[in-house]
Amino acid sequence: MTDAVVADLRAGLPDDAVLVDPDVVASYARDMAMFAPAGRPSAVVLPRTVAEVQHVVRVAAGHRVPVVPRGAGSGLAGSSNGVDDGITLVLTRMARILEIDPANRLAVVEPGVVNADLRAAVEPHGLFYPPDPSSYDWCTIGGNLSTNAGGLCCVKYGVTTDFVLGLHVVLADGEVLRTGRRTVKGVAGYDLMKLFVGAEGTLGVITQATLALRPLPRPPVTLVAAFGTAAAAGAAVAAVVGAGLVPSLLEIMDQTCIRAVDEWKRMELDRNAAVLLLAQSDSGGETARDEIDRVAELCRRAGAEPVYTTADVEEGRLLLAARRLALPALERLGATLIDDVAVPRSAIADLLAGTAAIARRLDVTIGIVGHAGDGNMHPTVIVDRADAGQQARARAAFDAILDLGLSLGGTITGEHGVGTLKVDWLAREVGPVSLRVHRAIKDALDPDGIFNPGKVFAGLPPDAGTGVHLRSAAVAAGPAPI
Ligand SMILES: Cc1cc2nc3c(=O)[nH]c(=O)nc-3n(C[C@H](O)[C@H](O)[C@H](O)COP(=O)(O)OP(=O)(O)OC[C@H]3O[C@@H](n4cnc5c(N)ncnc54)[C@H](O)[C@@H]3O)c2cc1C
């Protein structure tokens, strides 16, 4: 990046908003996906206002410099990884909750608000923001919107997109698009708002969101069931879904995860269980009790032993904490390649059995944790950084799991996104027609390709569109060592 770009950035921003120290900038180069390709940004900018975001985008557009929007950097697909010579635009200082409107059950927030802070802020109003990624105590609403994040209670309530009413987005020309509404219903024009949900920062910078809220759920009843085989646990999930039950949470963790968490936190988990299934009902009182009793019965029929249920809220919270700790606990065992396949819920048993077969065939350890009720699993390959042969086998296992997911009628990503990690796989999943439509939308909104190049899908041919296409910049950086 030239000095002229930095000087132009500084001209419209406070001194502390533009960081160029190479060590500091390098600390924003990656998210939490350990082996996703990443480039090296030249500057990090931390705006506080929409006008500052507009200034950054206009400077970037004027100089044809890439801009990578970034929240907390908790992503698991390399979506906010740096781009060589680019600007990483970190939205965490725009973290105000602008409005909580109990009468209309909505909140208006800036993108840097942390998910758990929003949940805590609306709770005294008797309200609830359901999408709850396991990273909810540090990931941001902007990141959640841009990955269309899911979470633990999405099995009942839906994912982030189901709670978005309106967005403000800074477009590639620096103008602010206001799209969406504050009403429950509304069909005026194309649904432009949804284009930006899950776009992984490739179409614009979200600077404000209007989010729908729900009434606060009732205190939960919790179940934990231990299974001797993954197949039995998969059968139980299929039975619960098939019976028409809608628990507010239905999560799974296998023995590798159980032992990793228990080694770390000593939570007295059942280390002998092959798989633990966790379920909750937040329907309240007798209804919740009845719902969980029915889930318990279906688990027993599928072979679970023991099956434990509790209406004690604190005990339920601790069991959920164990589930939320699964990924960080696996990271203590080595480098991790975290997959994110989602399959039809009737195919969960096949996915679990197939993943176990892949682990045996390639002689790698794979821990499985996931949102069983959504059919969204995170088979996580553990890798010894010092063992090159194991690294190669781990990558092969990662790909084999994606292949398996697609063959079961699933998708390569249920919630983490494509990022730099699965660009080739997106093309394979959606096919050439969908890819052409993706590119047309990108070209219409970001003709010079300044936003998050190299993410989600590969660049346009050099002669396409109107401007200088920057989209191949990030992929050029190649994979990082594990
Ligand atoms: C331990 C752990 C558990 C996790 N559990 C879950 C889970 O249960 N469910 C789940 O869905 N994810 C989960 N994740 C992944 C991650 O937390 C989510 O993808 C989250 O939504 C990312 O938010 P972030 O603020 O960290 O965004 P970042 O990682 O910084 O960015 C993510 C994407 O959003 C874009 N972006 C960020 N802000 C903006 C903006 N204002 N405008 C435009 N684009 C923007 C970035 O360019 C990037 O493409 C987990 C991660 C970890 C480490």
How far is 205 from 194, CA to CA, in rounded Å?
Answer: 14
pLDDT at residue 476 greater than cutoff 90? no
Ligand 1 binding pocket includes 135 (Cβ within 6 Å): yes
Name the closest-CA residue to atom 9, ligand 1. Answer: 133
Identify the DSSP state of 278: E
**How are strands ordered across the β-sheet holding 97-101?**
97-101, 106-109, 205-212, 164-170, 176-180
Residues 166-201: pLDDT tens digits?
999 999 999 999 999 999 999 999 999 999 999 999
The Å distance, Cα 224 to ligand 1 centre, comes to: 28
pLDDT at residue 1 greater than cutoff 80? no
According to the model, what pLDDT value does residue 472 have?
40
Residues 271-297: pLDDT tens digits?
999 999 999 999 999 999 999 999 999
pLDDT at residue 425 greater than cutoff 60? yes
| Nearest atom, ligand 1, residue 32 CA | 53
According to the model, what pLDDT value does residue 465 have?
37
> Apex CA 109: angle with CA 9 and CA 115, to 5°?
100
The Å distance, Cα 147 to ligand 1 centre, comes to: 6
How far is 172 from 198, CA to CA, in rounded Å?
Answer: 17
Residue 221 backbone phi and psi in degrees, to 5: -105, 135
Per the model's pLDDT, the better-predicted residue between 474 and 202 turns out to be 202
Helix (H, G, I), strand (E, B) or coil at 351: helix
Which pLDDT band holds residue 2 (cuts at 50, 70, 90)? confident
Ligand 1 binding pocket includes 155 (Cβ within 6 Å): no
| Nearest atom, ligand 1, residue 415 CA | 11
The Å distance, Cα 133 to ligand 1 centre, comes to: 9
pLDDT at residue 427 greater than cutoff 50? yes
The Å distance, Cα 438 to ligand 1 centre, comes to: 21
Region 371-395 average pLDDT: 94
| Residue to mutate, 54, 134, 371, ligand 1, most ligand atoms under 8 Å from C-beta | 134
Region 216-231 average pLDDT: 95
Residue type, 204: G
Radius of gyration of the chain (CA): 22
According to the model, what pLDDT value does residue 463 have?
38
The proportion of the chain whose per-residue pLDDT surpasses 90, expressed as a percent, equals: 91
Ligand 1 binding pocket includes 147 (Cβ within 6 Å): yes
The Å distance, Cα 254 to ligand 1 centre, comes to: 24
The Å distance, Cα 81 to ligand 1 centre, comes to: 11
If 0-12 CB within 10 Å is exposed, 13-18 middle and 19+ buried, where does residue 87 land?
buried
DSSP string, 132-181: --TTTTT-BHHHHHHHT---TTHHHH--GGGGEEEEEEE-TTSPEEEEE-
Chain Cα centroid distance, residue 458: 21
Ligand 1 binding pocket includes 73 (Cβ within 6 Å): yes
| Nearest atom, ligand 1, residue 200 CA | 49
Chain Cα centroid distance, residue 257: 20
Name the closest-CA residue to atom 52, ligand 1. Answer: 135
How far is 393 from 359, CA to CA, in rounded Å?
Answer: 9
Asked if the peptide bond before residue 130 counts as cis, ω within 30 degrees of 0, the response is no
According to the model, what pLDDT value does residue 437 have?
96
Region 44-56 average pLDDT: 98
The Å distance, Cα 75 to ligand 1 centre, comes to: 4
pTM for this entry:
0.94
For the chain, how many residues are written?
Answer: 482
Chain Cα centroid distance, residue 70: 13
Helix (H, G, I), strand (E, B) or coil at 92: coil
Identify the DSSP state of 46: -
Question: Which element (helix H / strand E) includes 101?
Answer: strand 97-101
Is residue 348 within 8 A of residue 373, CB to CB? The reply is no
Region 18-25 average pLDDT: 96
Ligand 1 binding pocket includes 370 (Cβ within 6 Å): no
Ligand 1 binding pocket includes 255 (Cβ within 6 Å): no
Chain Cα centroid distance, residue 475: 21
Residues 350-372: pLDDT tens digits?
999 999 999 999 999 999 999 99
How far is 101 from 80, CA to CA, in rounded Å?
Answer: 31
Helix (H, G, I), strand (E, B) or coil at 428: helix
How far is 215 from 126, CA to CA, in rounded Å?
Answer: 6
Name the closest-CA residue to atom 34, ligand 1. Answer: 143
According to the model, what pLDDT value does residue 459 have?
66
Sign of CA dihedral 386, 389, 395, 397: negative
The beta-carbon contacts of 93-98 under 8 Å, at least 24 apart in sequence, are 93/46, 93/47, 93/48, 94/47, 94/48, 94/49, 94/53, 94/207, 95/140, 97/121, 98/208
| Residue to mutate, 27, 146, 179, 205, ligand 1, most ligand atoms under 8 Å from C-beta | 146
Ligand 1 binding pocket includes 140 (Cβ within 6 Å): yes
The Å distance, Cα 74 to ligand 1 centre, comes to: 5
pLDDT at residue 462 greater than cutoff 70? no
Among 367, 172, 343, which Cα is nearest to 258's? 367
Which pLDDT band holds residue 35 (cuts at 50, 70, 90)? confident
Ligand 1 binding pocket includes 82 (Cβ within 6 Å): no
